[in-house]
Amino acid sequence: MSEEVRAFFDSVSEKWDGWSKDDLSIIRKLFQPIQIQKGDLVLDVACGTGVVTGLLHELSQAPVTGIDISPKMIDVAKRKYQGQEGIDFLSGDFLQFEGGRFDVIVIYNAYPHFLEPEQLCSALKKHLNPGGKFAIIHSLSREKLRSHHGPLGPRISRDLEAPEAEFQHFAKSFDLIAAYEDDDCYYLISKLS
């Protein structure tokens, strides 16, 4: 990810939760196809302020790690979850991450900010356990994402293709589990081959 992405999210970190209109009951439904199991080790990539990190911990009932390129977003997340066991936050670029392996990696409402999907594919392979899954989930349609992210420019965000087309960035190393989009959501779920 670029310095521009980091700087942008640092600049909006303290306002982010006020802007966020995420409904956890809707997100819970979006996460059902991932089939997170009790005991799964989960990594919340581009976790921001931890919008879904607590839900991931609830679903897995195991330690969850959130990582974000924006140190200021991580500062907000750490304040929100202060004292909560089983949730850890790291500041850093997932593409350069040197941490361990996970059973599930989730990228919620952040995938367009990964400007080079092939690099993301390499990082996912490196950090998933054998048979591990990754999920790209958006609580907006592609059209709404395009409208929402358009003003940010190509150094911060990119337009998404249909989920099946986006999967081609990952097809050499992953098997497709689910690819779906409608007027309210977008998701791509894959399993390490």
- CA pair distance 151, 154, nearest whole angstrom: 9
Structure tokens belonging to residue 107: 């990228």
Return the closest-CA partner of residue 19 out of 11, 31, 7: 11
Full domain range(s) for residue 131: 3-14+22-192
Mean pLDDT of 113-131: 95
**Are the beta carbons of 115 and 168 closer than 8 angstroms?**
no
Q: What is the pLDDT of residues 26-66, one digit of tens each?
A: 889 999 999 999 999 999 999 999 999 999 999 999 999 99
**Are the beta carbons of 138 and 179 closer than 8 angstroms?**
no
Instruction: Using pLDDT thresholds of 50, 70 and 90, give the confidence band for residue 24.
Output: confident
What is the tally of structural domains in the chain? 1
What is the model's pTM?
Answer: 0.90
- CATH number (domain holding residue 178): 3.40.50.150
Question: Beta-strand (E) ranges in 53-154?
Answer: 64-68, 87-91, 102-108, 128-138
Q: What is the pLDDT of residues 148-160, one digit of tens each?
A: 555 554 556 778 8
Helices and strands (H, E) in the chain, number of each type: 8, 7
- CA pair distance 190, 193, nearest whole angstrom: 9
**Are the beta carbons of 60 and 38 closer than 8 angstroms?**
yes
As a residue count, the chain comes to 193
Residue that the structure tokens 């089939």 belong to: 35
- CA pair distance 90, 46, nearest whole angstrom: 10
**Are the beta carbons of 99 and 127 closer than 8 angstroms?**
yes
